[in-house]
Amino acid sequence: MNLSQIKSSPILVRVVPFAIFLALTFGQSFGETGRYWFYLAKTVVGAWLIWLVRPLIPEMRWRVTWEAAVVGLVVFVMWIGLPNFLSWLHINPAFSEFKSSPKIWNPFPAFPEYPALASFFVVVRIAGATLIVPPLEEVFFRSFLYRYLAKPDFQRVPLGQFIPMPFLVTSVLFGFEHREWLAGILCGFAYQGLVCWKKRLGDAITAHALTNLLLGVWVVWKGAWRFW
């Protein structure tokens, strides 16, 4: 499979970049310091992939709207507040996370003699989560998979059409992509609902980006590295 074949296929152009990025995500286990360098490389690759496919995916356009801002903010509050809410319900918050999760992502203990380098990796993490992850994930889950589950000729399915089965399946799969799987599923419901509401993908990209940005700021501000 070459680049021209990928660019000529509406399916491959939406699936292959996400698949490459996901494979790199699951493959970043290079020791205590190596994984931070690998994340930097993965972010650069992700930016290159977006640059390649963006002209070929009309719906990959950011839309900054108040609706997107509200959803992004609400999802952020839900994400950081869910453990306390589960505790209030007398449910062990560990229930909502995969037990086989990788180590917490905190570069400062990994580079104790180079705090500036650790800070650089924090900025890279926030930038990658804010600018690279949302377009790749939203295009795959909300533009391709949601519509493909409804009809193999997915481009004939309007972005804003609510279809119960794809709505549930894509949100669950999106959730299972994250360590905090329960928060991820709720997050998937919110972003997919926003696409159905606004009938375009750009609002969901913006909401996703805002959630990740706020989460990154929260992690650094509060030292809440467990969310990374």
Supply the angle between the helices 31-53 and 115-127 in degrees, to the nearest 10: 30
> Do 214 and 227 touch, CB atoms closer than 8 A?
no
Q: Which range has the top average pLDDT, 25-29, 174-178, 207-211?
A: 207-211
Mean pLDDT of the chain: 92
Q: Using CA atoms, how far apart are residues 39 and 123, in angstroms rounded to an integer?
A: 11
Provide the whole-model pTM: 0.93
> Do 201 and 146 touch, CB atoms closer than 8 A?
no
pLDDT in tens, 105-149: 899 999 999 999 999 999 999 999 999 999 999 999 999 999 999
- pLDDT at 2 > cutoff 70: no
- Residue 134 CB contacts under 8 Å (≥ 6 apart), including other chains: 204, 205, 206, 208, 209, 212
Matching residue, tokens 């970043």: 28
pLDDT category of residue 97 using cuts at 50, 70 and 90: confident
> Do 57 and 143 touch, CB atoms closer than 8 A?
yes
Residue 21 CB neighbour total at 10 angstroms: 21
pLDDT value for 14: 96
